[in-house]
Amino acid sequence: MVNATKGLLISCDIPMAQFIINLNASLPASQKFIIHILDNTHMFVQSHASDMIRSAISDFREQNSYEKPS
């Protein structure tokens, strides 16, 4: 019998994949969203988590942006 799961395939570089894996690990077990890590740069996640992942990545990038002092 085939088991199918609806999800989202994420393809990214290794540092961003580690950020997403760390984000998943920081959540309680009932809120974890990674279904399967395929390799270092690809993972399969639950589709409802896409907005949360995008928001966390956006916040991370804003915190790590350099702004030249005026």
The candidate with the shortest Cα–Cα distance to 60, out of 12, 3, 8, 5, is 12
Residue 68 has pLDDT above 90, yes or no: no
Q: Mean pLDDT over residues 33-45, rounded?
A: 96
Q: What is the pLDDT of residue 66?
A: 81
| Interior/surface letters 20-34, b for 16+ CB within 10 angstroms, e for the rest | beebbeeeeeeeebb
Residue 36 phi/psi, 5-degree rounding, is -160, 135
Q: What is the pLDDT of residue 46?
A: 95
